[in-house]
Chains A and B, each alone.
Chain A
Amino acid sequence: MAQYILRRIAQTFLVLIGITLITFILLNVVPGDPVALMLEKRADAESMAKVRHELGLDVPLHLQYFNFIKNAIRMDFGKSYFTHKNVTEVLLKSFGITLRLAGTSFFFAVLLGISGGITAAINRGKKRDSIIMMLSMAGISAPVFWVAIILQIVFGLKLDWFPISGYGTPISFVLPGIALGTRYAASIARITRTSMLDVVKQDYIRTARAKGASKALVLFKHALKNALIPIITMMGTQLGNMLAGSMLVETIFSIPGIGKLMVDSMGSRDIPLIQGTVVYIAAVFVFINLIVDVSYAFIDPRIRIGQGAK
């Protein structure tokens, strides 16, 4: 197991280098010069050359990339061109905020999704099943910004239960957490139902029932545990997405998380910030995938991680 994890971490570095290289190339291909944006009305050739030199953008591209990698290994992504703030510090602050939003949202999605999926599965074909599946379809289809605005109007403005925007207090994360988690909850509910229905047909479930095991024991110990693999895979991807930030939810609820940071930095072509956020997001996905893979072994001992990875 340890060898597998080490190998995966080594792969992570290769993935990150590949991603930073692609990002670096793209940033130099797409239109949008940060220096022109910085100087705006005064963007004449002479002034631009002066600022480009100050920012180190007049160095050959391969050297710029090499310098970036050299510093990134030390977790130094430089300073933002526009705010002059240390990128690592900015990332850490935004990560902390996104973590709170993602945590709330993930909890909501898992709680609602799994309970909804199990309820639908055990009531297959009945009214409850239809209602849950209909709601989950609505949850998947509803645009996140629409859900967010409805929540703001109903629970923030009309009922005055929760803040409309901001992020300083625990209660501030409820509405954005639900807005972000609704779609994920719906997906989890659907996959939980499907996976549970597959499992309950298995012989060992019939055997457990025949042996007189209680309904709850059959449901949670035998059925749910064995249905968890696809659910966990999906939850892993969803957690990755949540931790990568959600620009829409963050913008609507005025939460300065990673998603908004990335979009804002793209808009200003703030290269150090873009590179920093890209590395962060890539690292989050790789790390979560690793955790998901490792968790398989604990959930289902039949899976041999060491062999599977070869």
Chain B
Amino acid sequence: MKQTKKIVALIMGLTLFTGSLFAGGSQQNSGQSSGKKVLTIASQDPQVPLDMQLNTYSLISRITDSTSETLLYGTADGGIKPLLLTGMPTASADGLTFSFELKKGVTFHNGAPLTSKDVKYSYERLIKKIKMASLLEQVAGYQAFADGKAADLSGFKIIDDLHFSITLSETYTPFVSVLSTAYCAIYPAEACEAAGDEWGLSVLYGTGPFKFVRYVMGEEAVIEKYPAYHGSPAKIDEIVYKFIPSANTQVLEYEKGNVDIVYLDTTLYPTYANGPLKGEIQDYPRVGGWFMSMNVKKIADVRIRQAISLSIDREAICKGIMYGTAKPATGFIPAGLIGYNDKLPVLEYNPTKAKQLLADAGYPNGYDLTVAINTRYTAGVALATAFQAQAKASGINVTINSMDSAGWTDMRSSGALVTGFGNWYVDYNDPDSMLYPVKDSRTDLSSTFWHNAEFKSLMEQGVKTSDTAARQKIYERANEILSREEYPVAMVYNEMSFYLQKPYVSGYSMGADGRFSFADTVINK
């Protein structure tokens, strides 16, 4: 026994010796520095510039929400409040022109003052970067600017350094909410332009309570308290995002005390919910959920689409693969949004009815269906596997077509998808954001190809109506067409998200739009 111990010690010692010979590069930050209040968060590596105008991953906004700010922000209860403005923007009588006044004395992390010019630059940049440009498509002059036919966005008028107005080409009620999304972050014009491709990699200035320190792909991103912040200064000195790709390793590092917050993968939830870390699991709702999209060109008969929806046992999925952390959907619009109808029952699971519908549609002996999934999301893989088993009862033979993100995006944009499981969460707290994937202008790009005159008209009315009660009726009807009449999508569930948080951390908040705030976070160690 003694000899074995000696051998093991010798081998480990020699391996360590070799490690020392080969190692020597960069030193990783060990987390807590002496005297500093440092919050360490386990994170996946975004592997792209930290710029939400270029890449829309929530991984990025978890970091940049603390550094870059928007004119307005979404509150936890779904409201909108001014952040960089002295008050809410005022609308003209026709509801087309909004006037804004910036807070005085706000500075970017490079010391430059925030001016109207920076706001204009940021919105024009968002359009130039294409990806989320459509958020501003109602601004007058959008198309000409996007097509390169105009030098600037004509609907944006700079009055002076602190005042500006934005004119829309048509009424768009969610416009103010749109400006609260992370994509509409305000960057300093000159510094951002000068940084070029380095923006979000080695340079990033915002007006947030924390300023960018460094971003080393594969290692970490570090932000630190900005002393000249225009609001209440942050209560911690530094936030370190340690990039740990393995979900299991993230939790081990948490258990060891090297990280303070870990966003839990749903698949790990039951392991920790029943273990010693049970008391440290926190949850937050996400406005959105998982759904199956159906290509109406390939499944033209609505009875087949209804049969597919009827073959999904949502209750069993929520219980079996989501461990009770998700609610079976009643429609596409989830609770918390205008248009959600709390009187609707859970979408029905009825294999007998599904079978009958398939027989009526000319498939009495069963129906072959291909379901595509993006393997990047483990929840989608589990969902498709469960559906494959459940659909047998309705006579639907499911073939699962697994692919990586690139393959998935390619198939979706080329129209090759027959059905697929995907997820969607709102960018701003408005039904218009939830219904984005099924908008008339979107469905050809997401392989649904569904067009419905009444739905389209309701969507147009919805964004032009400001009265909440009237909007509720409009979107309730839109939800009904989508979820219970036409079935271009079959919503499955609306889930909760989870994270582990050390007991000595408090004051960490999340908005209804899923944006994170560490401004009031406290570490009591």
Task: Tell me the smallest distance from the CB of B172 to a CB of chain A, in Å.
Answer: 18
Interface string of B10-21 (1 = CB under 8 A from A): 011011101111
Task: Tell me the smallest distance from the CB of B438 to a CB of chain A, in Å.
Answer: 13
Q: Is the CB of A157 within 8 A of B11?
A: no
CB-CB contacts below 8 Å: B301-335 with A: none
Contact flag A104-B217 (CB < 8 Å), given A33-B406, A167-B28: no
Q: Is the CB of A42 within 8 A of B201?
A: no
Most A C-beta atoms less than 10 A away, residue of B404, B405, B442: B404
Q: Is the CB of A111 within 8 A of B244?
A: no
Task: Tell me the smallest distance from the CB of B375 to a CB of chain A, in Å.
Answer: 9
Task: Tell me the smallest distance from the CB of B2 to a CB of chain A, in Å.
Answer: 16
Q: Is the CB of A40 within 8 A of B407?
A: no
Interface string of A163-179 (1 = CB under 8 A from B): 01111111111100110
Name which residue of chain B comes closest to A84, CB basis: B197
- Indicate if A143 sits at the interface (CB-CB under 8 A): no
Contacts of B22 in A (CB 8 A): 99-101, 103-104, 170, 173
Contact flag A42-B132 (CB < 8 Å), given A32-B404, A174-B16, A260-B245: yes
Given B21, B131, B253, B409, which contacts A33 in the complex, CB threshold below 8 Å?
Answer: B409
Q: Is the CB of B133 within 8 A of A108?
A: no
Q: Is the CB of B253 within 8 A of A177?
A: no
Given A51, A149, A167, A268, which contacts B405 in the complex, CB threshold below 8 Å?
Answer: A268
- Indicate if B283 sits at the interface (CB-CB under 8 A): no
- Tally A residues with Cβ within 8 Å of B: 63
CB-CB contacts below 8 Å: A76-97 with B: 82-85, 96-97
Q: Is the CB of B244 within 8 A of A107?
A: no
Report the stretch among A205-213, A222-230, A250-258, A288-296 that lies at the interface.
A250-258
Contacts of A260 in B (CB 8 A): 218, 245
Q: Is the CB of A41 within 8 A of B56?
A: yes
CB-CB contacts below 8 Å: B191-219 with A: 197-198, 201, 217-219
Interface string of A243-282 (1 = CB under 8 A from B): 0000000011110100010001011110000000000000
Task: Tell me the smallest distance from the CB of A248 to a CB of chain B, in Å.
Answer: 9
> How far, in whole Å, are A149 and B252 apart by their CA atoms in the complex?
10
Contacts of A84 in B (CB 8 A): 49, 197-198, 201
Task: Tell me the smallest distance from the CB of A112 to a CB of chain B, in Å.
Answer: 6
Q: Is the CB of B23 within 8 A of A164?
A: no
- Indicate if B403 sits at the interface (CB-CB under 8 A): yes
- Indicate if B25 sits at the interface (CB-CB under 8 A): yes
Q: Is the CB of B253 within 8 A of A100?
A: no
Q: Is the CB of A103 within 8 A of B131?
A: no
Q: Is the CB of B18 within 8 A of A108?
A: yes
Contacts of A266 in B (CB 8 A): 404
> How far, in whole Å, are A200 and B22 apart by their CA atoms in the complex?
36
Q: Is the CB of A40 within 8 A of B409?
A: yes
- Indicate if B24 sits at the interface (CB-CB under 8 A): yes
Task: Tell me the smallest distance from the CB of A144 to a CB of chain B, in Å.
Answer: 13
Name which residue of chain A comes closest to B219, CB basis: A256
Most A C-beta atoms less than 10 A away, residue of B48, B55, B442: B48
- Indicate if A153 sits at the interface (CB-CB under 8 A): yes
Name which residue of chain B comes closest to A79, CB basis: B197
Additional A-B contacts beyond A103-B22, A156-B252 (4; CB < 8 A): A37-B410, A40-B409, A152-B252, A165-B246
Which residue numbers of A lie inside 8 Å of B, CB to CB?
30-34, 36-44, 47-48, 50-51, 82-85, 96-97, 99-101, 103-104, 107-108, 111-112, 149, 152-153, 156-157, 160, 164-174, 177-178, 251-254, 256, 260, 264, 266-269
- Top 3 nearest A-B pairs (CB, nearest first) are A256-B218, A32-B406, A168-B28
Q: Could you jot down 10 A-B contacts, CB within 8 Å?
A: A36-B406, A40-B56, A97-B25, A103-B18, A164-B256, A170-B20, A173-B23, A174-B15, A251-B246, A252-B246
